[in-house]
Amino acid sequence: MATYTLTEKVRSLAILSRLVVFVLQAVSNFLIPDHNADAFVSPPDPHLPHLWGDTVVEVLFGGMKRWDAQYFLHIAQYGYTHENTLVFFPLFPMLVRGIGTVLHIPLHFFCNYYSCLILGAIFLNYFLFVKTAVVFFRLSKEVLRHEALAYKAALLFCINPASIFFSAPYSEALYSFLVFSALFSSESKNSITLPFQFSFASAVRSNGLVNVGFLIHKKLQDCAAYFSRIRNAITESGKLSLIVVIILTFNYTLIPSVCGMSPSLSPVRTFPTMVYCNEEGTNLSLPPHLELYLRANFLHSPDLGEADWCYNFPPVAYSHIQEKYWEVGVFRYYELRQVPNFLLALPVVMTVICHAALYMVDNSQVCLSLGIPPQIQKGKEKCDTAWCKEGINSWRVFVYSCHSLFMCLFCVLFIHVQVTTRLLCSSSPVVYWFAAHLLSEPSSRRESESSAPIKGTPNAKFFERKC
């Protein structure tokens, strides 16, 4: 009988989960009438032929081209034709356009270019989701140092509540793949290309900027290790003062960290200004039906000259457009009619907050040390009662907990709260790690805890194994 590794099992479940999602959306799209929402719908091109393959694509995948998928498909087909498309970052629609163009070469006898874009987006996300599930499993093993818990977390990722967004023409699958791959590289000590990996993620979604925190924390760890190593060497020789040690440490760590953060920030600043901040305007040669749509809806296109936000310093389009078109701002979504949306976001919000609270209680020493081991020798952290834990209470989880808590609070306070579930499920491993921890048997939880008890903590009785 053939045996399968846990990695192969994760890959198989990821494939199976995508097939189930495809079937469920097709059946639901056929049985349930569409909600008449006041949302953007890309104006159809009257000159595109409608072939029998287009009908098949509509029947099989029509339920996936809703809401924000309309924006991504519109950008892939026409580019950034009007101002409010700028909140959707360019890397995903660029890939969809490339794949759709390639597919259209053999399929143009059966379906039109728009259907090829839909197929391209779905095939891309299918491939990326399977790859992401495997990368996430490897990342979880590296951070948690607990294979069973990592496996359960990977299974939960495959059936997460935002699963449909990882298959529809949305950027969640690409973003998760880039972020989890970058984090796995960081945990595996392959951090040379880490800033560039995060820069690709920031070219997919706006919350990619928050990943700068991982780069900063990584540099703080390098700083602590370098400072400890050089201080020990100087203590033995006694030739240099402590001030010189500090200067050498910052020269070794601070300057590279600033250089490393630049690539992660650049995609957000550059691509909108290149198109919309030209004083004479940028001619996109829009098709007549699309130009008529833009003028009828009073939308600002690049040919009209500089946009309002170009005069801000710095000229950032994202926050301006979010406030102008979607009324995004602190507490602006707090209305009685939005209570159902808050209830939808409540499970993932409580998961993140409960994990952060319990982690701070059970690992106060790690939190006070900002998740930086007090001493690193020959690439290995010193093992004492506070730094030997595995599983959800590992010191390596600290920076992930901070990241998830920040993202959660930002979602609840600033943006449309219904976005919280898919945003956290696509960017934070903590959601799956803590859920897997809660679903584990008590004996499994004890195995994932540290061996030595910490006095004064509620879970001291679980720390039974010796370091």
- The reported pLDDT for the residue numbered 116 is 95
- The reported pLDDT for the residue numbered 466 is 32
pLDDT at 233 over 50: yes
pLDDT at 465 over 60: no
If one compares 276 and 138, the residue with the highest pLDDT of the two is 138
Confidence of residue 463 (pLDDT cuts 50, 70, 90): very low
* Distance between first and last Cα of the chain: 38
Most confident stretch, 37-41, 46-50, 104-108, 196-200? 104-108
Distance CA 121, CA 455 (A): 53
pLDDT at 379 over 50: no
Degrees to nearest 5, angle at CA 123 with 285 and 188:
105
If one compares 211 and 129, the residue with the highest pLDDT of the two is 129
pLDDT at 258 over 70: no
- The reported pLDDT for the residue numbered 105 is 93
Pairing of the two strands 380-381 and 376-377:
antiparallel
pLDDT at 100 over 50: yes
Asked which of 18-22, 278-282, 294-298, 375-379 is least confident by mean pLDDT, the reply is: 375-379
DSSP 308: G
Task: Tell me the percentage of the chain whose pLDDT exceeds 90.
Answer: 38
Task: Tell me the percentage of the chain whose pLDDT exceeds 70.
Answer: 78
Which run of H or E residues covers position 169? none
Cβ neighbours around 338 below 10 Å, total = 13
**Chain centroid to CA 154:** 16
Confidence of residue 459 (pLDDT cuts 50, 70, 90): very low
Degrees to nearest 5, angle at CA 262 with 261 and 264:
70
Degrees to nearest 5, angle at CA 110 with 108 and 114:
60
Contacts with 209 (C-beta within 8 Å, 6 or more apart), sequence order: 202, 264, 265, 268
Confidence of residue 452 (pLDDT cuts 50, 70, 90): very low
Distance CA 43, CA 62 (A): 16
Q: Three-class SS of residue 5?
A: coil
Q: Dihedral through CA 340, CA 343, CA 348, CA 351, nearest 10?
A: 170
Domain ranges of the chain: 1-190, 326-467
pLDDT at 248 over 60: no
Handedness of CA 401, 391, 425, 428 (dihedral sign): positive
Most confident stretch, 77-91, 134-148, 211-225, 231-245? 134-148
Are 177 and 164 in contact by the 8 Å Cβ rule? The answer is no
- The reported pLDDT for the residue numbered 14 is 95
pLDDT at 133 over 70: yes
- Which runs of consecutive H residues, i.e. helices, occur in 3-51? 6-31
Average pLDDT, the chain: 81
Q: Three-class SS of residue 377?
A: strand
Token pair belonging to 420 = 């919280």
pLDDT at 18 over 60: yes
pLDDT at 445 over 70: no
Task: State how far the alpha carbon of 369 is from the alpha carbons of 10, 190, 399, in Å.
Answer: 35, 24, 11
- The reported pLDDT for the residue numbered 50 is 87
Task: State how far the alpha carbon of 289 is from the alpha carbons of 63, 103, 155, 286, 299, in Å.
Answer: 25, 25, 46, 8, 14
If one compares 130 and 245, the residue with the highest pLDDT of the two is 130
- Burial (0-12, 13-18, 19+ Cβ within 10 Å), 234: middle
Distance CA 191, CA 10 (A): 26
Token pair belonging to 246 = 């500090």
Confidence of residue 457 (pLDDT cuts 50, 70, 90): very low
In order, the DSSP letters of 47-76 are TS---HHHHHHHHHHGGGS-THHHHHHHHH
Average pLDDT over residues 16-42: 86
Confidence of residue 371 (pLDDT cuts 50, 70, 90): confident
